[in-house]
């Protein structure tokens, strides 16, 4: 029976590693999106600082800035989604860690019970042997 629990523990450990890897990937994606948002905001501010002389260039600049702003909003939405995914992966990782610890404790408890049971059997056999020797010695 212990081998079943040991196998389950190995599966739990594997799941724990997979969840940790998924969380790391989701967190990296979130950081990349965060960096993209900051960079796009910086570029938009730089473009807003540029002064143009002709009215046609001003209209073009305003149009491009509007497009950049729309792109920033889209990237911010992607960042929000990536943050949500990262948080879900973090919760899954924590849950897998807890399950692994629980399974480890179950196995430890079973091993302790087996040791106690084995010790009782050995003690019982030793008692029987001692009684038989005592009876022969009489």
pLDDT digits (tens, 9 = 90+) for 88-126: 999 999 999 999 999 889 888 888 998 999 999 999 999
| Counted domains in the chain | 1
Of 3 and 67, the structure prediction assigns the larger pLDDT to 67
The number of residues in the chain equals 138
Tell me the two tokens of residue 116: 């106690």
In contact, 31 and 122? CB cutoff 8 Å: no
For residue 133, how many other CB atoms are within 10 A of its CB? 9
Give the span between the Cα atoms of 79 and 29, in whole angstroms: 9
pLDDT digits (tens, 9 = 90+) for 21-71: 999 999 999 999 999 999 999 999 998 888 888 898 889 899 999 999 999
Give the span between the Cα atoms of 20 and 5, in whole angstroms: 22
Confidence band for 135, pLDDT divided at 50, 70 and 90:
confident
CATH code where residue 8 lies: 1.10.287
What residue spans of 1-138 are helical by DSSP H?
A: 2-49, 55-137
Look at residue 120 in the predicted model and tell me its pLDDT: 95
pTM: 0.71
Tell me the two tokens of residue 90: 């973090």
Domain span at 101: 2-137
């Amino acid at each position: 029976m212990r081998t079943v629990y040991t196998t389950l523990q190995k599966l739990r450990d594997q799941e724990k590693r997979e969840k940790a890897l998924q969380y790391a990937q989701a967190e990296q994606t979130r950081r990349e999106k965060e960096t993209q948002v900051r960079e796009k905001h910086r570029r938009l501010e730089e473009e807003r600082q540029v002064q143009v002389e002709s009215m046609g260039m001003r209209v073009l600049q305003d149009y491009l800035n509007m497009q950049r702003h729309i792109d920033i909003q889209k990237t911010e939405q992607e960042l929000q989604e990536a943050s949500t995914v990262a948080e879900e992966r973090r919760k899954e990782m924590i849950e897998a860690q807890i399950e692994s610890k629980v399974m480890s404790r179950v196995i430890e408890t079973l091993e302790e019970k087996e040791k106690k049971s084995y010790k009782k059997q050995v003690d019982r056999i030793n008692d029987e042997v001692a009684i038989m020797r005592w009876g022969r010695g009489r």
